[in-house]
Amino acid sequence: MVPTLSRQQETVDQNQALQALLVWLKTQDYRFITPTPATHGRVIARNERPLARSLRDVFGWNLPFEPILLPPPLLDSLAREEVITQSGDLLRSAVRVSSLGEDLYLHSSYPTTDADAVFFGPDSYRFADLIETELAGHASCPSMHVVDIGTGSGVGIVVAARRCNPVRLTVTDINPRALALAGINLGAAGYRATSILSPNLDDVTDPIDLALANPPFIIDESERQYRNGGGANGSDISVTMAKLALDRLAPKGRLILYTGSAIVEGEDDLRGKLENLADEAGCSLRYREIDPDIFGEELERPAYCHVERIAAVAAVFER
SS3 5: helix
Q: What is the pLDDT of residue 115?
A: 86
pLDDT in tens, 152-172: 999 999 999 999 887 799 999
Tell me: do 102 and 126 sit in the same domain. Answer: no
Residue 183 has pLDDT above 50, yes or no: yes
Domain membership flag for residue 117: no
- Measured between alpha carbons, how far is 131 from 160 in angstroms, rounded to an integer? 7
Pick the closest to residue 256 from 113, 166, 156 (CA basis): 156
| Average of per-residue pLDDT values in the chain | 92
Burial class (CB in 10 A: 0-12, 13-18, 19+), 6: exposed
Tell me: do 24 and 47 sit in the same domain. Answer: yes
Q: What is the mean pLDDT of residues 172-184?
A: 97
Residue 2 has pLDDT above 50, yes or no: no
Of residues 100 and 227, more confidence is placed in 100
* Domain span holding position 85: 5-108
Residue 33 has pLDDT above 60, yes or no: yes
CB-side neighbour CA atoms (13 Å) of 158: 27
Please tell me the total count of domains within the chain: 2
- Measured between alpha carbons, how far is 63 from 56 in angstroms, rounded to an integer? 9
Domain membership flag for residue 115: no
Residue 5 has pLDDT above 50, yes or no: no
SS3 51: coil
Single-letter residue type at 76: D
CATH assignment of the domain containing 160: 3.40.50.150
CB-based contact 220:288 (threshold 8 Å): no
C-alpha distances in Å from residue 1, one per residue of 4, 243, 244: 9, 31, 28
Domain boundary among 108, 140, 170: 108
Domain boundary among 85, 108, 131: 108
Angle between helices 176-189 and 155-164 (to 10 degrees): 30
Domain membership flag for residue 194: yes
pLDDT in tens, 6-26: 555 567 789 999 999 999 999
The Cβ of residue 238 has, within 10 Å, a number of other Cβ atoms equal to: 27
Q: What is the pLDDT of residue 1?
A: 45
Residue 202 has pLDDT above 90, yes or no: yes
Tell me: do 65 and 160 sit in the same domain. Answer: no
Domain membership flag for residue 116: no
Tell me: do 143 and 86 sit in the same domain. Answer: no
SS3 81: coil
